[in-house]
Amino acid sequence: MVEQTLVFVKPDGVERGLVGEIFARFEKVGLKIVGMKMMHADKAHVQKHYAAHLEKDFYPPVENFITSGPVVAAVLEGVGAVSLVRKIVGGTEPHSAAPGTIRGDYAHMNYAYADGPAKAKGLRNVIHASGNEEEAKAEIELWFSKDELFDYKLLHEKHTRG
Ligand code: ATP
Ligand code: MG
């Protein structure tokens, strides 16, 4: 099934100049960028985005981290896009994320350090990606208005979709 999913390069990825390299990976597998923007998320926006985590111990540092600088958000479309993008992004903890994934290749932080010496800073793991289809629908609505999403055809859609 053709799906849409939401990603955003977190402030660590933007500040490290990784935006182009990250989106190159999505484009290379044939995913279509249907919306994209830079924004500096405020606390209220991050609270809505991570509503499921608000009560967790790690939430305050996550909020500090995500509001510490601009992010680059995008909606990606493709066959099975939600799980495909999670596979490309890799596991939550960069230390254990598989090599070849974005988090495994561009970061090395572990939970112990993020919850200990770096507690105020949050787990810097470069990128967010929706966890499932339901999350993707809600997150796309939260981050993008209808007129910020575009309907067009990629040349290679001919070869990747029927
Ligand atoms: P994201 O939603 O950012 O793509 P994820 O879906 O891989 O990440 P979640 O469980 O949704 O993981 O956690 C949201 C964010 O909260 C993580 O990206 C990370 O920054 C932070 N986080 C999650 N678990 C922990 C933890 N045990 N210690 C510190 N930070 C954590
Ligand atoms: Mg998540």
Instruction: Check whether 160 has a pLDDT greater than 90.
Output: no
Domain regions of the chain by residue span = 2-145
Count of alpha carbons within 13 angstroms of residue 120, beta-carbon side: 1
pLDDT score, position 122: 87
In this predicted model, what pLDDT tens digit does every residue of 34-52 receive, in sequence order?
999 999 999 999 999 999 9
pLDDT score, position 162: 63
Q: Which of 109, 105, 72, 111 is nearest to 88 (CA)?
A: 105
In this predicted model, what pLDDT tens digit does every residue of 49-103 receive, in sequence order?
999 999 999 999 999 999 999 999 999 999 999 999 999 999 999 999 999 999 9
Architecture of domain 2-145: 2-Layer Sandwich (3.30)
- Lowest pLDDT segment from 26-30, 86-90, 111-115: 111-115
Distance CA 108, CA 104 (A): 7
Higher pLDDT, 113 or 157: 113
Q: Kindly report the protein residue whose alpha carbon is nearest to atom 27 of ligand 1.
A: 111
Rounded mean pLDDT of the chain? 96
pLDDT score, position 121: 85
pLDDT score, position 157: 84
pLDDT score, position 68: 97
Q: Kindly report the protein residue whose alpha carbon is nearest to atom 4 of ligand 1.
A: 128
Instruction: Check whether 28 has a pLDDT greater than 70.
Output: yes
24 alpha carbon to ligand 1 midpoint, in Å? 24
- The torsion angles phi and psi of 95, rounded to 5 degrees, stand at -55, -35
In this predicted model, what pLDDT tens digit does every residue of 125-135 receive, in sequence order?
999 999 999 99
Instruction: Indicate which atom in ligand 1 lies nearest the CA of residue 52.
Output: 11
Q: What is the DSSP letter of 31?
A: -
4 alpha carbon to ligand 1 midpoint, in Å? 21
Give residue 132's Cα distance to chain centre.
12
pTM value is 0.96
